[in-house]
């Protein structure tokens, strides 16, 4: 059994693809071999989803629960960096547990971890999804690559490998920069709470059950 799909931004690709016929019509223009593949087999099921990007409002709690991976946030399929994010979250959760086992108060630490992760996740997603806007233009697409690679491998990866994303000072810096970005002069923790509530503060889309997860109507809203 094989699953074949297409993901696109509706604001950039105006075409509607809801049926197998629409899918084959479109895919024939770019990848005719996929059409042959589909026609060579038996169709078992089809599905289409809109607005499937979601993010949880809170990832971690000092009550001792943690949401990591796809359960909390969608990752953009263009780069599929989900496992990279999960490995970072596992380190963050491990550090929170370790500190609690040592008897340290972790309320503030866990809140800062949450903000640091949300900031990193949104930054990566924004960078990746903006590629859709230039991918038809080889020159612009390629010009962006050196900068993206420079930031990723000369800045982000070394910082993460050195524990910046679960270091109390590292995540506090992110907490302050988030507070600054949202125009806050208040204490970082108050800003943290506001960041955490972003899902309700902004019209990000319809709410799923219990309102725990926000579905993002379009990627560019991230
Ligand atoms: C096609 C594709 C390619 C990808 N490529 C990459 C890549 O190259 N690099 C990268 O970093 N990431 C990649 N990703 C993303 C990455 O695979 C995911 O982000 C990651 O697997 C998510 O892990 P997870 O443990 O959160 O969720 P999952 O791996 O989805 O695990 C959830 C598990 O829970 C089970 N489950 C669901 N409901 C229930 C239930 N009610 N009861 C019991 N069990 C249940 C599911 O069967 C599943 O096994 C890719 C994703 C896709 C779809």
pLDDT tens sequence across 113-131: 999 999 889 888 888 888 8
Regarding the beta carbon of 84 and ligand 1, being less than 6 Å apart is answered yes
Cα of first residue to Cα of last residue in the chain, in angstroms, is 34
Residue 77 Cα to ligand 1 midpoint, Å, equals 12
The pairing of strands 53-56 and 213-216 is antiparallel
Q: What pLDDT sits at residue 144?
A: 86
pTM of the predicted model, to two decimals?
Answer: 0.77
Regarding the beta carbon of 75 and ligand 1, being less than 6 Å apart is answered yes
Q: Do residues 114 and 60 make contact, with C-beta atoms less than 8 angstroms apart?
A: yes
What gap in Å lies between CA 127 and CA 70, rounded to an integer? 19
Q: How many CB atoms lie within 10 A of CB 101?
A: 8
Regarding the beta carbon of 7 and ligand 1, being less than 6 Å apart is answered no
pLDDT tens sequence across 40-76: 999 999 988 877 788 999 999 999 999 999 999 988 8
Q: What pLDDT sits at residue 188?
A: 39
Residues in Cβ contact with 20 at an 8 Å cutoff, skipping those fewer than 6 apart: 38, 43, 46
Residue 110 Cα to ligand 1 midpoint, Å, equals 24
Q: What pLDDT sits at residue 182?
A: 63
The SS3 of residue 213 is strand
Q: What pLDDT sits at residue 210?
A: 34
Q: Give the atom of ligand 1 at the shortest distance from the alpha carbon of 69.
A: 26
Q: 116-133 burial string, b = 16+ CB within 10 Å, else e? A: bbbbbbeebbebbbebbe
DSSP 108-149: HHHHHHHHHHHHHHHHHHHHHHGGGGTTT-HHHHHHHHHHHH
Residue ranges in the chain whose pLDDT is less than 50: 184-222
Residue 55 host element (H or E): strand 53-56
Q: What pLDDT sits at residue 209?
A: 32
Q: Give the atom of ligand 1 at the shortest distance from the alpha carbon of 71.
A: 26
Q: Where are the domains of the chain?
A: 1-51, 69-197
Residue 124 Cα to ligand 1 midpoint, Å, equals 19
Residue 1 Cα to ligand 1 midpoint, Å, equals 18
Regarding the beta carbon of 2 and ligand 1, being less than 6 Å apart is answered no
Q: Do residues 75 and 222 make contact, with C-beta atoms less than 8 angstroms apart?
A: no
Residue 57 Cα to ligand 1 midpoint, Å, equals 20
Q: What pLDDT sits at residue 94?
A: 97
What residue owns the CA closest to ligand 1's atom 28?
70
Q: What pLDDT sits at residue 197?
A: 46
């Amino acid at each position: 059994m094989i699953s074949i799909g297409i993901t696109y931004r509706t604001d950039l690709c105006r075409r509607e693809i809801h049926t197998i016929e629409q899918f084959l019509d479109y895919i024939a223009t770019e990848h005719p071999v996929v059409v042959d593949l589909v026609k060579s087999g038996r169709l078992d099921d089809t599905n289409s989803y809109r607005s499937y990007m979601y993010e949880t409002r809170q990832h971690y709690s000092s009550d001792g629960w943690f949401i990591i991976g796809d359960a909390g946030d969608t990752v953009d399929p263009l780069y599929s960096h989900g496992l990279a994010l999960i490995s970072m979250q596992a380190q963050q959760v491990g550090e929170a547990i370790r500190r609690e086992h040592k008897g340290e108060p972790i309320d503030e630490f866990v809140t800062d971890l949450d903000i640091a992760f949300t900031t990193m996740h949104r930054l990566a997603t924004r960078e990746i999804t903006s590629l859709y806007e230039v991918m038809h233009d080889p020159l612009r697409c390629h010009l962006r690559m050196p900068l993206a690679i420079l930031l990723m491998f000369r800045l982000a990866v070394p910082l993460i490998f050195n524990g910046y994303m679960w270091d109390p000072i590292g995540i506090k810096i992110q907490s302050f920069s988030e507070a600054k970005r949202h125009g806050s002069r208040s204490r970082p923790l108050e800003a943290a709470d506001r960041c955490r509530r972003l899902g309700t503060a902004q019209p990000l889309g319809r709410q799923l059950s219990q309102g725990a997860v926000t579905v993002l109507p379009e990627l560019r809203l991230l």
